[in-house]
Structure 1
Amino acid sequence: MVQISKLLAVAVTLLAAPAVAHPGEKHDPHVVKREIHAREALAAAAKRSLGGCENSLHARQLAKRNIARRSRAVQKLRQKRGVTANPQKWRRDQAALEKWEAANHNRTAILDYSPATPESIIFGANTSCILTPTITNGPYYVWGEIMRENVKEAQYSDGVDVSLEVQYIDINTCLPVRGALVDIWQANATGVYSGISESGNYAAGGWDSTYLRGIQQTDRDGVVNFETIFPGHYEGRATHTHLLTHLNATLLPNKTLEVGTGSVTHIGQLFWNEVLRSAVEKMYPYNTNTQNVTTNAEDMWSVKQADSAYDPFPEYIYLGDGLDDGLFAWIQIGINATADYTDNSYYSIAAYHDTNGGHQNSDSFAMGGAPSGSRSAMPSATSS
């Protein structure tokens, strides 16, 4: 039985190099250093909190359901895609992660399992981690995105398919967080975000574009699923996927969130190990991205400092014997369900999307300092 504290993953860290990264975002390095220390302290405290309930009956039952659900998801994905090759079952354990961290911070050790490896080993373990949620969402968050599981669109969404499962656990009770509304957004394969038309990020379709953005509501096990692609990189930031979680927000009849309702209980980002990123970026259209790569070790918010209480890297497996068949990835995030970061200085809304389309929140870029150059959207492409 894998303990819940061994399953929780931090989708946390904040991001951005001071000169480049998200346009409009600058940070005092001294403030960043203090935030990193605060993150580590919060993570340690949250892990201690989980220790009081991780062996409860409901926690053990949840772990069993997780294993069965992930196994079913992979089987369905393989059947849907007609994949017959044995899947590559890759995961990192804590010892491998610590070995990587102690070595050179430039690659994640990966363990390759055979087809005979039990599902409880493959789907029942994450590296140990806890969420520290006081981090920025960056200036590219759009309020009012569409309720949908598949965030890929006909254009600008070509890339390596990722079926992503995210599970939220309350650190105070070890119970799943039900009914939370979870936003996801990320850059496409060439490093461009939809919904934004600013120096440094001119998306095709401008403020009206919505590719690779969406919202889902957590189920009884605190789980949301998104069909997306592996994110592309852009200069100044390690490759990442954004998540933002609302509790008690009002869902309108048009399946968008009512502005100003609910609390923001989690602001975070998932990161991807360098071995996987390097493999993905050899493929089209990632290999057309001419921007400089920022590794996890180079990220100013010390993504490299994953440890027993902080680990923002999802687990994943190849659905087949290569990336063409796509990936299944999963992560568990421990949150304090009573927290509210709505008024936190790191929470900002770049734009709104409503019945009239998208429009900029003019106050969101007040931090100033867009980098030189711009990122144009990738050419039209049909997602697979």
Structure 2
Amino acid sequence: MFRVIGAIALAAALLSSTSFAHPGHDHKHEAAQRREYIESLEQKDLGHCAETLMANGHYERAIKRRAETVARLRREAGIDHAPMLHARDINKVLNTNHRSNNPWNAQTPDSTVFGSNKSCILAPEIIEGPYYVSGEVMRTNIVENEKGVPLTLDLQLIDTTTCQPIPTAHLEIWSCNSTGVYSGVAGQGNGNANDLNNLKNTALRGFQAANSDGVVTFDTLVPGHYAGRANHIHVVSHIGATIRANNTLQGGTISHIGQIYFDQSLIDSINTIAPYSTNRIAKTPNRSDSWMAQGAATGDDDVINYVVLGNQVQEGLFGWITLGMDPRASRRITPAAWYGEGGGIKNPAGSQPGPVWPPPWGGEAENREAEAESKVLEG
């Protein structure tokens, strides 16, 4: 199992986490919940699945798919003739510089570059954060009009109990933009708190249905940073959901909630590029991010593997990670807002600064949620 040296330092980082990163959260309680859940799992990583995944051709198909995707992206960007930076790999989650020693070229075996399957076990106890919006649509490209470094993500879901892909899942992702602002939410700590037009914004949000290999692909951007957090992308899996006529999800259960991160050396490089460089909020490095530290301490490798498509990061990245999850798990998520044809509706009971987190479901709070959600679905 993947382990990170320096558990004492990680624990210290966790206990000293800032309170303004997710206003109203009880970080210590939620961290303890997640740690307890992880430690209760019979299988904490995908190491026990290696033989099964190899036998059913999973690794070979993954390598072929990743190589073909990178070739397509380079052709579409008109840089297939240009040199390509070598792949990075994750040796220790909190290392700040861990490049592979194998430069990529036409003679390099695809398995050398795309064969890494560092995995992340995503437990339902990790927080969704204060910026989840329910009602986003199914789509591959979630960039819209945002600017930043292009990122194509290959995300694969593996059932840790059967070692098989999960083709029935829908995977949802969302992140802030290059200057640290989330779309779809109006509130303190998220750009201009008085900008209610942001409730209508859907950029950098969406979901996809997994294919027969449990794979979803998104075209997005490398996210920026905001107060108290390292750069990250949120991921949530939905099991047993159906798709409405308007391409939104209905029903099912949420089996995991997680976050994925980036190599620190990559982030340092991207922070020098506009519009990332215009963000004046203090940066939080990976080693100081409490949620990333806790994931590493419990065995996760939640940093994406990636290649730079050209010879500079501005030309785009292709990243991949395998997500291990137990589809039998179930968690209720608290949205900050609901989105529908009529725009966004702020949830008065959820994901906002206040003395109660999460809000007490049932009674008046649950009625408010149901009323708001029905208004959204009616458009």
Over the aligned positions, Cα root-mean-square deviation in angstroms equals 2.6
Structure 1 residue 331 and structure 2 residue 321: aligned?
A: yes
CA distance in 1, matches of 2:185, 2:55: 41
> Secondary structure of 1:279's match?
helix
Give 1:294 shift: 0.7
1:182 to 168, 171, 192: 171
Native 8 Å contact 2:169 2:209 kept in 1: yes
Q: In the alignment, which residue of structure 1 is the partner of 2:244?
A: 252
Which residue matches 1:195? 184
Number of corresponding residues: 339
Tell me the distance in 2 between the aligned counterparts of 1:224 and 1:16: 35
Cα displacement string for residues 85-118 of structure 1 (whole angstroms, at most 9, x for unaligned residues): 121122225xx32xxx6xxx46141114222331
In 2, Cα distance between the equivalents of 1:86 and 1:323? 12
- Alignment correspondent of 2:371: none
Look up the match of 2:76.
80
- Classify the secondary structure of the residue corresponding to 2:291: coil
Tell me the SS of whatever aligns to 2:50: coil
Alignment-derived partner of residue 340 in structure 2: 354
Equivalent residue, structure 2, for 1:321: 311
Letter in 2 for 1:67: I
8 Å CA contact retained: 2:53, 2:59: no
SS in structure 2 at match of 1:306? helix
- Structure-2 residue corresponding to 1:19: 19
Residues 144-167 of structure 1 show CA distances to partners (whole Å, capped at 9, x for unaligned) of 10111000112xx10000001110
Aligned to 1:140: 131
Task: After TM superposition, list the pairs within 5 Å mapping 1:279-290 onto structure 2.
Answer: 279-290=269-280
User: 2:45 touches 2:121 (CA, 8 Å); kept in 1?
Assistant: no
Sequence identity (%): 36
CA distance in 2, matches of 1:163, 1:34: 33
Opposite residue 67 of structure 2, the aligned amino acid is S
For the 8 Å contact 1:50–1:171, the answer to whether it is kept is no
Match of 1:56 among 26, 33, 52: 52
* 8 Å contact kept, 2:34–2:126: no
Structure 2: state its 5+ residue gaps.
3-13, 357-379
**Bigger shift: 216-225 or 174-183?**
174-183
Q: Which residue of 2 aligns with 1:123?
A: 114
How much does 1:54 deviate?
3.0
Q: Residues of 2 paired with 1:21 and 1:108: CA distance?
A: 25
Tell me how far 1:16 sits from its aligned partner. Answer: 11
CA separation of 1:129/1:143 partners in 2, compared to 1, >3 Å: closer, same or farther?
A: closer
Q: Distance in 2 between matches of 1:354 and 1:198?
A: 19
Cα 1:215–1:79, aligned 2, differ >3 Å: closer, same or farther? same
Distance in 1 separating the partners of 2:292 and 2:219? 28
**TM-score, normalised on structure 2?**
0.82
Tell which has more relative contact order, 1 or 2 (C-alpha 8 A, sep 6+). 1
Structure 1, unaligned stretches of length 5 or more?
Answer: 7-13, 371-384
